[in-house]
Chains A and B, each alone.
Chain A
Amino acid sequence: MTTDSPLLESRSLTLRHGTRQVLTAFSCAIHRGELLGISGPNGCGKTTLLKALVGIHRPVGGSIVRHRLARKPGYVPQHAPIDRNFPLTASEFLAINCHSRIPWIGGIPRKLRHGICGKLDCLGISHLAARPLGTLSGGELQRVRIAASLLDDPVLLLLDEPSNHLDPAAAASLKQLMIHLHQEHLLTLIVVSHDESFLDGLSTRRLTLDAPLLAVA
């Protein structure tokens, strides 16, 4: 595999969500340095495709080829409503996202402190480190989740509906952050969004999925 090879390539991918087939024989390649925006109507299989690309949804047909640099991509799933009373600070959230064998009993282990503080710094959110997750605004929480997805210094970052539940100002600020990550940190990004306007001026390439045929398996 050469350096020009795609970071991620789906070959004749067929995906099913429950009993419904959402994508059939879908092929696509993502190259280094791209910012790919994926849009489409509800239920067209955007999230299922992203999960398959991350490796947490098994395709029923076809294959996904990952470049060795994209073995461990960063992933920010669709914003799930979290328990606002969950007693976890932003820095502890990053600590539980670390791939590390260091035992953790809350707080930030000394050996992980540098990495965690570095990521919070990089995203300009070090002031949120000691704040409980439940007290963060939607935009702040999304930045913390992105910081967590960058802990392993991935070259590829996949985001699912990152602007969901954000007000226009927070969504615009998030868009700027993504452009910053793409241009300054040379990250390759795949962004799924049903909101076409969010992808305008953000993506370097756009992919629009069609509504699926209601084929029941």
Chain B
Amino acid sequence: MHFIELFRYDFIRYALVSGLLLGPTCALLGVFVNLRGMAFFSDALAHSALTGVALGFMIDAWTGWKIDPTIYVLIFSCLLALGMGWLSQRTPLSRDTITAFTFTGSVALGVILISLLGKHRMLEGLLFGSIYANGPADIVHQAILAAAVLVFFLTQLRPLTLATLDPELARSRGIRPALLHYAFSLLVAATVAVGLKMLGALLLSALIVMPAAAARIASSSFRNLILVALLLGIAAPPVGIAASATLNLPTGPCIVLVHVAALAVCQLIHLIRPLRSLTT
């Protein structure tokens, strides 16, 4: 199928818009997920979203409500992110350990709830997602999220960067690193809730972590880091969707593999650059 012909289909157009909204949003968040060592945190939130969906189904079954599962995941992910932040300040355990037990505990609870509900088939959709299941309502959610992330970064990028590099110095400049951490964690949680449908729990954290990881390898200044991450975040979803549609392969994994390829190229350039300077 010719690439242009793909755009005749509504679901392809929605998928593309969805990718173009979520790709750069995740990439921008990913810059600080990487710098703050929160890759495991975003992965844990993505997997814990299973429990949010399962709890939503149970609440709907008991009450007869018909609420969008994204709302349940959003509430659950935000509570979990706040809970992990709160615990990390009040226990001697490391942030990694807290994330690990929250991650495994909530996934275990989610699987039990899904099993009790008898919705085993739902697990595959939650784990792998489907970008083609996006509709206009999802696009609206994603646009609101993208706008929120953009506003946050335009207003808080400077304090967030300083708080990430040197929290002590940030405090002396009137910045509240803990508050910024909570706000940032909530944005990651919201992104997980909104992006779950597109890539699923397994692949979502790749969309957050990988563009920024590739950009970090390729950049020596912060401006380049942001620009390269955004560029990869924007470029990977359309390339992945096109590859998936033309080669008849699953879309989520195709997008992730585009990011893996970009990361490999950046690493290669990083390895070759010193060698070239030696020969010139």
A contact residues vs B (CB 8 Å cutoff): 54-56, 75, 77-78, 80, 82-83, 85-89, 92-93, 95-100, 103-107, 130, 132, 145
B60 interface contact, C-beta 8 A: no
Contacts of B155 in A (CB 8 A): 103
Among residues of B, the one whose C-beta sits closest to the C-beta of A100 is: B158
Q: Interface residues of B: mostly helix, strand, loop or mixed?
A: helix
* 16 further contact pairs, Cβ within 8 A, besides A87-B225, A130-B221: A78-B168, A82-B166, A87-B216, A87-B220, A92-B223, A93-B165, A95-B158, A96-B159, A96-B165, A97-B162, A104-B158, A105-B223, A106-B222, A106-B226, A107-B223, A132-B220
Taking the closest CB of chain A, its distance from the CB of B25, in whole angstroms, is 15
The stretch of B12-20, B68-76, B169-177, B192-200 in contact with A is B169-177
Size band of the interface chain B makes with A:
20 to 34
Contact of A77 among B153, B164, B169, B227 (CB under 8 A): B169
A105–B157 alpha-carbon span in the complex (Å): 7
Contact of A97 among B153, B157, B173, B225 (CB under 8 A): B173
B222/A92 in contact, CB under 8 A:
yes
A103/B165 in contact, CB under 8 A:
no
Contacts of A88 in B (CB 8 A): 161, 165, 221-222
Contacts of B153 in A (CB 8 A): 105
B contact residues vs A (CB 8 Å cutoff): 35, 153-155, 157-159, 161-162, 164-166, 168-169, 171-174, 216, 219-227
A83–B37 alpha-carbon span in the complex (Å): 11
A59–B164 alpha-carbon span in the complex (Å): 26
| CB pairs A–B below 8 angstroms (24 shown) | A55-B172, A56-B171, A75-B169, A75-B172, A77-B169, A77-B172, A78-B168, A80-B166, A83-B35, A86-B35, A86-B164, A88-B161, A92-B222, A96-B158, A96-B165, A97-B162, A103-B154, A103-B157, A104-B157, A104-B158, A105-B157, A106-B224, A106-B225, A145-B169
Taking the closest CB of chain A, its distance from the CB of B24, in whole angstroms, is 13
Number of CB contacts from chain A to chain B under 8 A: 78
B220/A98 in contact, CB under 8 A:
no
Most chain-B CB neighbours within 10 Å: which of A100, A103, A145? A103
A98–B169 alpha-carbon span in the complex (Å): 12
Taking the closest CB of chain B, its distance from the CB of A144, in whole angstroms, is 12
Name the 10 nearest CB pairs between A and B, nearest first.
A106-B223, A106-B222, A107-B223, A75-B172, A77-B168, A96-B162, A87-B219, A104-B158, A132-B220, A87-B225
